[in-house]
Structures are given as C-alpha cells and as structure tokens.
Amino acid sequence: MNKKVYEDVLSGRSDNNIKYSDLRSLIEALGFTLKRQRGSHTMYFNKTIREYMNIQSDGAKAKGYQVRQLREIILKYGL
C-alpha cells in the first residue's frame, strides 16, 4: 500500500487530486476485490466488512466524492 496516498485520503486535503490508479491500488490494498466493470464504472466489494465501492475516473484523477466515500469506510471500519 502506498502510505502517502493513504494519508492523503485520510487527511481530506486533496480529495480532488488523487490519481485514479492510486485510488484503485489503495482500494485493492484495503482488501476490496474487483466485482465487475461496466463501462467507466468499476465496482469493488470487501466481503469482510460487506461494503461496496463504485469508482470511476475523471480523466486521470479520481472523483472527489468517491475519495470521501473511501475515507468514511476507512474510518468506520478502522482499515
């Protein structure tokens, strides 16, 4: 796991500046597995905590609201 990306997601200071590829890597490192991809939407599922993450890119960046959703999951479950 890229510790800097993890810290950036938790800090909330750069929600709109996280690379999409970095967000995908972080999601996978947190135990989520690819469930399906349909068009630009990529859905991940974590069976341990029973949560879904649906992400899509905004160019090369991740969408800010999806970064916030991931932060909420991290804080809620202590990931």
Q: What is the CATH classification number for the domain harbouring 36? A: 3.30.920
**What pLDDT was estimated at residue 1?**
79
* pLDDT on residue 9: 95
CB 8 within 8 A of CB 26: no
Cα separation, 76 vs 47, whole angstroms: 15
Whole-number Å distance between alpha carbons of 13 and 7: 10
Give me the residues paired with residue 62 across strands: 57
Mean pLDDT computed over 24-31: 96
pLDDT digits (tens, 9 = 90+) for 58-70: 899 999 999 999 9
* Residues of the domain holding 37: 3-77
pTM score, two decimals? 0.92
The dihedrals phi and psi of 40, each to the nearest 5 degrees, come to -90, -5
Tens digit of each residue's pLDDT (9 = 90 or more) over 33-49: 999 999 989 999 999 99
The pLDDT value given to residue 10: 96
> Domain tally for the chain?
1
- Number of residues in the chain: 79
Q: At what angle do helices 3-11 and 64-77 cross, to 10 degrees?
A: 100
C-alpha angle 10/40/12, rounded to 5°?
15
pLDDT over 90 (residue 76): yes
Residue 29: the pLDDT is 96
